[in-house]
Structure 1
Amino acid sequence: MKKIAMACALVVSLTACAQPGGSGGFGMNKQTGGAVLGGVGGAVAGAQFGKGKGQLAATALGTLLGAFIGSEVGASLDRADQTYAGQAGQRAFESAPSGQAIAWNNPDSGHSGTVTPTRTFEAAPGQYCREYQQTVMVGGQEQRSYGTACRQPDGSWRVQN
């Protein structure tokens, strides 16, 4: 659950929040959308640690850290970065063997990253999924996320919640 939530926060902030003109898909800009999604992912991740008041503190810390990281990534990645990252993801899910990183790089912004499938499995009869790890380098800082993408009936790949 933790891996999926973190991956969704990063992947969605990479691909779904930025629409033409900088407006987010939820009526937000990239930075705000990244902060919101990062905060949610951080809260879910933080809730996995500790018990009682310790768990509450970990959840709060995860929310703040996730919001900050999501905001920074959302503010930093432009539409071209998202296109490069999305194309790398599709190549990784479609044909890369497990463990092989598919890299992307935007020469204009200097941002880069990788998508590495880690495991392939059949979630339901005929529905194949791939777990993956994603890295994004922005301003010399590396961010990592993990998630699962499943093949849709039309042949496309969709990150699962």
Structure 2
Amino acid sequence: MRRAGIIAIFMLPALLAACGPGNKQGTGTIVGAVAGGAAGAAIGGPKNRIPGLAIGAVVGGIVGNEIGRSLDERDRELASAAEYQALEYGQAGAPTPWDNPSNQHRGQIVPGKPYQQGSQFCRPYTHTIYVGGEPQTARGTACRQPDGTWRTVG
């Protein structure tokens, strides 16, 4: 019950934002990031809460965006893990691939050069997915939070 309450607290502002005027794709990205973070934290369990939250929030930003519409749950898991690896450990310009052999969906994340923004370590990234052989690309920036999680900021 406690977990459901925490998720509801995080989801309420995002859902209210979705009802207002503005850029629906941007709102979808925000809603996706919040939902992904909450789901990642819940799935991660008590011992893995931080990595679960980090992975969920970063990929949530992508999944809430246009390119995430065609992804299934396994695609999201694979994309999440690859995106976290690319942002945390990847070399700038070096792709980190993911592949789901069960449905032929695949993708890659290419992190950009890391930089310091205030006290945060940030990286631009490009995430390209291939669904039905057609590439779809999203670009963004993620910053590592003081607790070690990554948050999509643009």
Normalising TM by the smaller chain, what interval? 0.5 to 0.7
1:137 aligns with 2:127: no
- Distance of 2:108 and 2:129 partners within structure 1: 7
* 3-state DSSP of counterpart to 1:119: coil
Are 1:135 and 1:144, in contact at CA under 8 Å, matched by a contact in 2?
A: yes
Aligned positions of 1:7-156 closer than 5 A: 37-38=65-66, 70=67, 73-74=68-69, 76-124=70-118, 126-156=119-149
Shift of the alpha carbon at 1:156?
A: 1.4
1:158 to 136, 148, 151: 151
- Distance of 1:12 and 1:137 partners within structure 2: 23
Are 1:96 and 1:117, in contact at CA under 8 Å, matched by a contact in 2?
A: yes
Shift of the alpha carbon at 1:153?
A: 1.2
Larger RCO, structure (CA 8 Å, separation 6 or more): 1
Deviations 1:109-152 (A, max 9, x none): 2100000011211011x310000111000011101111101001
Runs of 4+ in 1 over 3 A off after TM superposition: 7-20
CA 1:100/1:12 → structure 2, altered by over 3 Å: closer, same or farther?
farther
Identical pairs, percent = 33
CA 1:148/1:8 → structure 2, altered by over 3 Å: closer, same or farther?
farther
* Stretches of structure 2 lacking an aligned partner (at least 5 in a row): 1-22, 40-61
* Stretches of structure 1 lacking an aligned partner (at least 5 in a row): 21-33, 39-69
CA 1:37/1:113 → structure 2, altered by over 3 Å: closer, same or farther?
closer
Work out which of the two has the higher radius of gyration on C-alpha atoms and give 1 or 2: 1
Are 1:10 and 1:145, in contact at CA under 8 Å, matched by a contact in 2?
A: no
RMSD of equivalent CA atoms: 3.2
Q: TM-score, normalised by structure 1?
A: 0.56
CA 1:12/1:82 → structure 2, altered by over 3 Å: closer, same or farther?
farther
Deviations 1:12-67 (A, max 9, x none): 687766899xxxxxxxxxxxxx9x854xxxxxxxxxxxxxxxxxxxxxxxxxxxxx
Task: Report the AA paired with residue 111 of structure 1.
Answer: H
